[in-house]
Amino acid sequence: MDVLQLDVSGRPQAWISPREAALLYASDAVAWTLGDAFHVLRGGIQRTTGIQSRIAVHPIVAVRGAVPTRAWRQAPALTNPKLFARDRSVCAYCGGHFHFEELTREHIVPVSRGGHDTWMNCITACRACNGRKGNRVPEEARMSLLYLPYVPNLHEDMILRGRRIFADQMDFLLASVPRSSRLHG
| Residues of the shown chain interacting with Zn ion in the complex, contacts defined by CB under 5 A | 91, 93-94, 126, 129
How many whole angstroms separate alpha carbon 116 and alpha carbon 102? 23
CB of 78 to Zn ion, least distance (A): 20
CB of 159 to Zn ion, least distance (A): 24
How many whole angstroms separate alpha carbon 154 and alpha carbon 159? 9
State whether the Cα torsion 64-171-175-81 is positive or negative.
Answer: positive
Length of the chain: 185
Is 55 in contact with 28 (CB distance < 8 Å)? no
CB of 21 to Zn ion, least distance (A): 41
By C-beta, is 103 or 154 nearer to Zn ion?
A: 103
By C-beta, is 33 or 124 nearer to Zn ion?
A: 124
CB of 92 to Zn ion, least distance (A): 8
Question: Based on C-alpha coordinates, what's the Rg of the chain?
Answer: 21
By C-beta, is 20 or 102 nearer to Zn ion?
A: 102
- Taking each helix axis as running N to C, give the angle between helix 167-174 and helix 154-161, from 0 to 180 degrees, rounded to the nearest 10: 150
Question: What is the DSSP secondary structure assignment for residue 154, as one 8-state letter?
Answer: H
CB of 169 to Zn ion, least distance (A): 32
By C-beta, is 137 or 170 nearer to Zn ion?
A: 137
By C-beta, is 4 or 90 nearer to Zn ion?
A: 90
Is 126 in contact with 104 (CB distance < 8 Å)? yes
